């Protein structure tokens, strides 16, 4: 074989979608991480202060999954969040629309009212958490049945496709839910009909008290995609830009009619399954594993990348130090003031709102009249 005379032409590596974001958009993504984190921290503190009741399902340490995926969507796209995704309800459509309440799916007031079980909430005190949705805001009403959200998403995507729409439907699912039969049935259906359904697997290493090695025999849950002949991406769930890049690819794939896909986002559940499980989780999860799992805080990862890209100075990165702290150690000063103000609006609105009238108890309950 003749020796190669000249070096092969240098091909520039293709730009990652996140490299095409402006500096403002990079900084906005960091703000979304702070917002999701502050929601979590604030609710935990409110509950400890006795100003809030009900179970909290923390998304601490998993914020980059919500921020990165939502940032790649249009407001006409649909999402189907579940228990671990509470900030998604007020973060959908937030890209470039901070403070424009009439242009986002759900306001922080509505979401906080839901958490406080007040009359202005969609669920009107029947529940304090994620069993809500918004038809106009394109959020599928959440159910508790985990992967049971995927057939609903597939049906919606099918209807939208028949109507000639270009909406993408995104479901958020824990890795544990991928072991349910309905996960297989729904994704198989979506694959056969080439439906624009994107399934985000939030692999936080635990399903309640069950570790991943007792849920699935392989390392990457994204490999479940192979059985349906659809793409399965693995994203670093701590890196909002990597999540965004994989999401842009999945959205493009879905939007062009190619069909469904799966993105597994590797992360780690910071607390117990819900706060009722915190004490027990401290016994079933070795402390070293928890510390290691929480080592790469998504806020810190994002800041490091912003500094590397020259979009933030070290001093600016150090200004609000929310990363690496649990809720009790975190102060308001660890967050940008506009983030604290934004959430404060929701919390104060909820606390001041009345409880629903007791007579409402029977509302929405089916009753035979004859
Ligand atoms: C069909 C069904 N089985 C069991 C439950 C009870 N349950 C609620 S969340 C959960 C664990 C889910 O784990 P995973 O899917 O990994 O999500 P994570 O909580 O880790 O985000 C279980 C067992 C349920 N809600 N629905
Ligand atoms: Mg899990």
Q: What is the mean pLDDT of residues 359-366?
A: 80
Residue 370 binned pLDDT confidence (cut-offs 50, 70, 90): low
Quick: pLDDT tens for 311-334: 999 999 999 999 999 999 999 999
Exposed / middle / buried, residue 1 (Cβ in 10 Å: 0-12, 13-18, 19+): exposed
Q: What are the structure tokens assigned to 39, written together?
A: 């929601």
pLDDT value at residue 18: 98
> How many percent of the chain have pLDDT more than 90?
89
Ligand 1: which atom is nearest the Cα of residue 215?
16
For residue 172, what is the DSSP state? E
Task: Give the distance (Å) from ligand 1 centre to CA of residue 284.
Answer: 17
Average pLDDT of the chain, as a whole number:
95
**What's this model's pTM, rounded to 2 decimal places?**
0.95
Task: Give the distance (Å) from ligand 2 centre to CA of residue 50.
Answer: 28
Quick: pLDDT tens for 10-21: 556 778 999 999
Task: Give the distance (Å) from ligand 1 centre to CA of residue 231.
Answer: 25
Q: What is the DSSP string of 207-274?
A: ETTEEGGGT-SSS-GGGGGGGGT--EEEEETT-HHHHHHHHHHHHHHHHTT---EEEEEE----S-SS
* 208 pocket-lining for ligand 1 (C-beta < 6 Å): yes
* 179 pocket-lining for ligand 1 (C-beta < 6 Å): no
Give the Cα separation of 210 and 34 in Å (integer).
29
Give the Cα separation of 291 and 289 in Å (integer).
5
Residue 170 binned pLDDT confidence (cut-offs 50, 70, 90): very high
Task: Give the distance (Å) from ligand 2 centre to CA of residue 68.
Answer: 18
Say if CB 61 and CB 87 are below 8 A apart.
no
Say if CB 254 and CB 168 are below 8 A apart.
yes
Q: Between 125 and 86, name the one with better pLDDT.
A: 86
* 206 pocket-lining for ligand 1 (C-beta < 6 Å): yes
Q: What is the mean pLDDT of residues 285-303?
A: 97
Quickly name the fold that domain 32-349 has: Rossmann fold (3.40.50)
Query: How wide is the angle at C-alpha 194 spanned by C-alphas 164 and 198, nearest 5°?
Result: 95
């Amino acid at each position: 074989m003749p020796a190669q005379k000249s070096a092969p032409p240098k091909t520039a590596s293709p730009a990652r979608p996140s490299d095409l974001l402006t500096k403002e958009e990079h900084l906005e993504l960091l703000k979304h991480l702070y917002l999701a984190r502050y929601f979590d921290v604030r609710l935990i503190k409110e509950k400890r202060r006795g100003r809030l009741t009900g179970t909290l399902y923390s998304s601490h340490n998993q914020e980059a999954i919500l921020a990165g995926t939502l940032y790649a969507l249009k407001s006409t796209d649909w999402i189907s969040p579940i228990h671990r995704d509470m900030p998604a309800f007020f973060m959908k459509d937030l890209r470039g629309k901070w403070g424009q309440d009439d242009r986002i799916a759900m306001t922080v007031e509505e979401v906080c009212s839901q958490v406080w079980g007040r009359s202005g909430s969609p669920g009107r005190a029947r529940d304090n958490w994620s069993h809500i949705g918004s038809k106009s805001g394109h959020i599928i009403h959440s159910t508790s049945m985990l992967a049971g959200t995927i057939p609903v998403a597939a049906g919606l995507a099918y209807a939208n496709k028949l109507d000639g729409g270009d909406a993408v439907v995104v479901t958020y699912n824990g890795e544990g839910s991928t072991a349910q039969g309905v996960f297989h049935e729904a994704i198989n259906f979506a694959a056969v009909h080439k439906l624009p359904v994107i399934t985000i697997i939030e692999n936080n290493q635990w399903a309640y008290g069950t570790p991943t090695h007792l849920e699935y025999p392989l390392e990457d849950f994204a490999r479940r995609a192979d059985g349906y002949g659809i793409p399965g991406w693995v994203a670093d769930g701590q890196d909002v830009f990597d999540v965004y890049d994989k999401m842009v690819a999945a959205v493009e794939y879905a939007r062009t009619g190619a069909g469904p896909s799966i993105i597994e986002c590797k992360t780690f559940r910071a607390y117990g399954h819900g706060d009722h499980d915190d004490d027990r989780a401290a016994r079933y999860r070795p402390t070293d594993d928890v510390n290691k799992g929480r080592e790469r805080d998504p806020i810190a990862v994002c800041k490091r990348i912003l500094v590397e890209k020259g979009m933030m100075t070290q001093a600016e990165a150090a200004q609000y130090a929310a990363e690496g702290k649990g809720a009790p150690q975190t102060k308001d000063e660890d967050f940008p003031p506009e983030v604290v103000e934004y959430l404060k609006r929701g919390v104060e609105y909820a606390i001041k709102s009345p409880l629903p009238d007791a007579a409402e108890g029977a509302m929405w309950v089916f009753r035979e009249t004859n």
